């Protein structure tokens, strides 16, 4: 997991993601986008598969105007696929990669602007959510840098401390904001509450532990930051519509053994 927006363009072959409990295959010539905080991993690929992976900083993504439904889908865990691929996409993605690796600050800024424009075109030209449709979300203006910075810091704090006994008030205090104000701007930007974000991160951790370890369900619950096993069962079943044991059994049947 990471805090940026990730774009993948498959140059040749195909690869399969484990993405938030689902398997999604991305074929040659397809462009996909998702939020890095959604647990993901490439679990299979055709021999010789090549793809370019680029990242858009959260501050840039939050600053894009008129992307309400698009951003909402991303923050709610969608794998976005661009419906229209441009003839130059293959070449430009490889060029962006080469220019970013060159370490030239001026080139990096140019790439950032061009990549931002490509994201805007995905929204304009059409896209589909490979998982589920989202709902509306409010947007911040590109000049609202202070609030964007606060949201980035809150997301980072949650990612670093969600397994501890933290609350929405703790998240607000960590960025020197009144809890009510912090909760308000967070919900406006991300589309769910701070407490929901904390629980989601704990559930993401629980998923990983269920797949990659042989810990008991009780130990998974406490290792993931839940204060009680009953609360863990309730939250897990509500989000994934199956119990932890059933999830572990299903994922093991897919060939994902414990580490």
Taking the C-alpha atoms of residue 241 and residue 228, their distance in angstroms, rounded to an integer, is 19
For residues 228 and 252, what is the distance between their CA atoms, to the nearest angstrom? 25
| Residues written for the chain | 259
Q: Provide φ and ψ at 87, rounded to 5°.
A: -65, -25
- Whether the CB-CB separation of 114 and 48 falls below 8 Å is answered with no
The reported pLDDT for the residue numbered 212 is: 78
Sketch out the chain's domains with CATH numbers: 5-129 (2.60.120.280), 144-259 (1.10.10.60)
- For the entire predicted model, the pTM comes to 0.58
Task: Check residue 77 and give left, alpha or beta (phi > 0: left; psi -120 to 50: alpha).
Answer: left
pLDDT 10s digit of each residue in the chain, 259 long?
677 889 999 999 999 888 877 788 889 999 999 988 787 888 888 999 999 999 887 767 776 766 667 877 787 778 899 999 988 999 999 999 999 888 888 998 899 889 888 998 888 888 888 775 333 344 455 445 677 778 878 887 888 888 999 999 999 999 999 989 999 888 877 778 999 889 988 988 888 788 878 899 999 999 999 999 999 999 999 988 899 999 888 877 765 544 4
The encoded tokens of residue 192 equal 């769910």
Q: Count CB-CB contacts under 10 A for residue 238.
A: 10
Residue 63 contacts residue 140 (beta carbons within 8 Å):
yes
- The pLDDT of residue 77 is 79
Amino acid 124: pLDDT: 86
Distances (CA, A) of 82 to 21, 123, 237: 22, 8, 31
Identify how many contiguous H helices and E strands the chain contains and give both numbers.
Answer: 11, 8
CA-based R_g, the chain, Å = 19
């Amino acid at each position: 997991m990471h805090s940026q927006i990730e774009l993948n363009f498959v140059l040749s072959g195909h690869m399969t993601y484990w993405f938030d409990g689902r398997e999604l295959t991305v074929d040659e010539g397809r462009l996909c986008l998702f939020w890095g905080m959604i647990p993901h991993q490439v679990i299979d690929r055709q021999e010789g598969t090549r793809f370019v992976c680029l990242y858009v900083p959260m501050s840039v993504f939050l600053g894009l105007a008129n992307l309400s439904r698009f951003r909402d889908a991303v923050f709610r865990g969608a794998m976005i696929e661009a419906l229209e691929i441009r003839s130059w996409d293959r070449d430009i993605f490889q060029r962006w990669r080469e220019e970013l690796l060159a370490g030239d600050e001026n080139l990096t800024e140019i790439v950032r602007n061009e990549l931002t424009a490509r994201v805007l075109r995905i929204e304009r030209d059409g896209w589909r959510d490979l998982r589920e449709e989202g709902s509306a979300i409010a947007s911040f203006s590109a000049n609202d840098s202070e609030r964007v910075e606060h949201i980035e810091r809150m997301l980072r704090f949650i990612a670093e401390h969600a397994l501890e006994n933290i609350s929405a008030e703790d998240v607000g205090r960590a960025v020197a904001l009144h809890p009510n104000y912090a909760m308000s701007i967070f919900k406006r930007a991300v589309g769910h509450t701070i407490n929901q974000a904390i629980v989601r991160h704990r559930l993401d951790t629980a998923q990983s532990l269920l797949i990659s370890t042989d810990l008991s369900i009780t130990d998974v619950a406490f290792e993931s930051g839940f204060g009680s096993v009953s609360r863990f069962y309730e939250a897990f079943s509500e989000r994934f519509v199956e119990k932890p044991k059933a999830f572990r059994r299903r994922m093991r049947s897919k060939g994902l053994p414990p580490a």
